[in-house]
Each structure stands twice: as structure tokens, then as C-alpha cells.
Chains A and B, each alone.
Chain A
């Protein structure tokens, strides 16, 4: 199949919305990494920049939505073109949510900067953030490359993030049991960890959109989950 439309403006439109979603992905990855760094280094200025930067991410989502509506109205996309537009819209919504989580992380890091640090916890959070942005990056790379196998791999790798979250959950619980004065900080850190874990779920959702884009079907099998924190009282 030829890759270009007879009507070249249609190609420019489709490339345009995909470029916008990739730019959004870049901003979100940077926001998560910066927020995690701000948490560990207690850099309030960096945290403030992340909080302010979420506006640009939200605006991009609005813009992507408007462009997609225009493409649907004007070009009447079909088959793989239609799936491109639909997946761009869904991925933009996923990324917007990830941006919110980064903003929330930055906000909590400013509160935590005023408290006594819990040893080791912020380092674990930052490792988790790195892992999860890697997932997001790979899911978006798979999107551009139309690589369903790579997307399927991202789906599998979300388990690693879940495991990191489980470990951190226990660590924070231990801190709280040791000394009730740790509870406020540990609670904030727990919300942060949970939010980063949610970013992993959004990366998985992006990967599923890649599979839909390439194959025309959303993977039906339940994806692997290893969140043991809801299985019962943690030991």
C-alpha cells in the first residue's frame, strides 16, 4: 500500500496531530522526571516550574482535540486513518492525566521539602519515575513505529512498576509503624508512588492504543497486574 494520500493536505493533517501528541509526550516525560528530581533534591524552584508547565500540556490536549475534530469533519477518515485519529485523541487524554500526576507530585514535593526526609524513600520514588517514563517513551516510540510487538512488551513491563510500588508501599508502612511522626510524610510519599504507578497504567493504555492502531483490535486478554497491596493486610 502506498503511504501517501492522493490529497496531500490529508497527510499533513495526520502528521500534524501525531506530531502534537509526540510533543505532548515529551513534555509529560520531562515533567515526571523533573518532579521526581525536585522531590529528591528538595528543589522547590524546579517543582514550581513543573506545576506551571502543566498548563502547556493541558493546552496541547485541547488543541489536539480540536484538530482531530476538524480532521474528522473535513477528511472523513476511514480504516487506518480513522484509527490514527481515534488513537491520537485517546493517547492525548492519557498523557493529559499523566501531566496532572506530575503536577501533583511537584506540589507534594514542596510540602515534603519542609519535613524531615524519610531515608531512601525519595530515591525509590525517583527510580520508579525513571522506569515509568521509560515505559511511556517506549509506548510512544512504538506508536510512531507502528510496532505492535514493542507495545505488547510495554504492557508486560508495567508489572515491574507495580512491583516497585508494592515494595515502596511496604517501606512506607514500616516507616509509619516505626514512628507516628513519619505518617504525614509517608502518606504524601505514598500518594506520589500511587500516582506514578497510575502513570504506568496510562503507558499501558497508550500501548493498547498502538495495538489497536496496528491490528484494528484492542487486546482482549486481561493485562498482567501484580498489585499485592489490595490483596489483604500487608505483612
Chain B
């Protein structure tokens, strides 16, 4: 049978990040059990699963955010472009410039819109002089589809923007350090449907430049924005595959139960 499916736009099959045998313990709680996954380059990967399934925990492993949690213990191997990100020689701050993160609630710094975006490039020394910094701020805000709305008030406080605008400001802030991977932990859960659609459109545009990994509770959102979906349950990565396949004919009955809204 000829495959005539109108599935996805072209997806690269090169892995940007690879995780092998990743385990996470929070004290005595075994939160993540033996996770193997390849995050593809220039692809949106969605992590779905019920609360407490380990999806956010795994997301936070990808830029070593779990380092900041005293009780967390991460074992296994996570590589980016073949380099172990848990190597003692890797500076987590540098890593987080390459693997950016956007959180559930928009959390702009209590600074001007301009300074919110300029902060990262400044501390990482990515700009030589004001002109270059101005350019980074402008292109980042354009990439986050916020430029036209804020270009006349760059010195106004970022906290004065609407929720959707604040979230796009946070995305601009993450984009400003030219990341290679962008992690998003429920980036739309505090946004209205219009702002959600704008962020989703943005995610789709951003993936031409880098990998995006998004944790979401909205299965429709996962289906809309991602090309790959991973389903987590009770700390296990149950199923990982092409999004269209996961949502029409998943292999694992637990995935089926979850995405169809049945009791698992």
C-alpha cells in the first residue's frame, strides 16, 4: 500500500540530545526510571502524561535544573551533540544558555522589556557594545512575535505586559542567548486561547532554528505543535514516537487509555 499520508513537515532524523538509562531520585522517591530517548534536531517533541509521571523531572534533567534541587540525584547519561552534559567540566550556566527554558507562569524580571531580553546576552558576553545588544534584543523580540507590540515602549517594565505578552517576552529572553534547544514547561497553561495560539505558532516557527521540547497537559496542544510525542507514566517512558501515530494508533494500551481519557 502506498503511503499517501499528509503527516508532518520534514523532520530531521539527527539526534540533538540523547538520554540513556536516566534515573532520578528525589530522596527516597524514585521519580524517573530508566528513560531512553532521542530528542531530534529542529523538531518539536512533546512530553505528555498525568501529574507526577516524571515528564517535568525529565525536562529539567535536560538543562541540569535538577542540580538546584538538593535532594535530587540524577544517574544515567544525557548527551548533547555527543557530549555528556553531566561531565564535571561542563558549566551548568553555559549549558543553560544553550538549552533555554520557559516556565509555566510568565516570570519576567522586574526590569524593562529591553533589559529582560538583554540580560542573558550581557552575562554571557554575547554582545560587543550597545549596537550589537540592540540588534539581539530586536531580533529576539521579533522571533518571539512581540516586537511590533513593544517596540515603542522598550523601557517600560516587562511586568506591565499582558500575560500572553509576558510569556512571549520570556520566550524572547530564552531565544536571546541563541539556544540550541528550548525547553518549555507548560508554557500556555496560564494563557488565554488567542495567546496560546500565538505561542503555538511561535513554537512552530522556532523549530526551523532549534529543537523545542514542550511539557503540556493539553493533549490537543501536543497533537497540534509536536512532531514527536513521548508519553510518561509512573516514572516510565511508556511510548515515544511520531505524534500522528501516537494520537491515531498508539502501540501501548496505557498510552491509549491516557490519550482517550480513560482510567489507566
Contacts and interface: CB of A to CB of B under 8 A. Distances in A.
Interface of A: 1-7, 10, 76-83, 216-218, 220
A6 B262 CA distance: 5
Contact of A77 (B257, B260, B263, B264): B260
Nearest to B252: A1
Nearest to B251: A216
A76 B256 contact: no
A78 B229 CA distance: 14
Contacts of B72: none
Contacts of B262: 1-6
B260 A78 contact: yes
Interface of B: 1, 219-220, 223, 247-250, 253-257, 259-264
A80 B256 contact: yes
A81 B220 contact: no
Contacts of B253: 1
B1 to A, nearest CB: 4
A76 B1 contact: no
Contacts of A4: 262-263
A81 B247 CA distance: 10
Q: Is the interface of B mostly helix, strand, loop or mixed?
A: helix
Contact of A5 (B249, B254, B260): B260
A80 B253 CA distance: 10
A78 B257 contact: no
Given A1-B253, A216-B248, A79 B261 contact: no
19 contacts: A1-B254, A1-B257, A2-B264, A4-B262, A5-B261, A6-B261, A6-B262, A6-B263, A78-B223, A78-B259, A78-B260, A79-B247, A79-B248, A79-B250, A79-B256, A79-B260, A80-B260, A82-B247, A217-B249
Contacts of A78: 219, 223, 247-248, 259-260
A6 B261 CA distance: 6
Nearest to A220: B1
Contacts of A80: 256, 260
Contacts, number: 49
A76 to B, nearest CB: 6
A3 B261 CA distance: 10
Contacts of B255: 79
Q: 4 tightest A-B contacts by CB?
A: A216-B249, A220-B1, A2-B263, A1-B253
A80 B248 CA distance: 7
B190 to A, nearest CB: 22
Q: Which of B259, B261, B264 has the most CB of A within 10 A?
A: B261
A81 B1 contact: no
A2 B248 contact: no
A7 B261 CA distance: 7
Contacts of A3: 262
B248 A83 contact: yes
Contacts of B219: 78
Contacts of A77: 260
A81 B248 contact: no
A216 B251 CA distance: 10
Contacts of A6: 261-263
A129 to B, nearest CB: 32
Nearest to A212: B249
A10 B261 CA distance: 9
B263 A81 contact: no
Given A1-B257, A2-B257, A2-B264, A218 B247 contact: no
Q: Which of A5, A79, A83 has the most CB of B within 10 A?
A: A79
B248 A82 contact: yes
A1 B261 CA distance: 11
Nearest to B262: A2
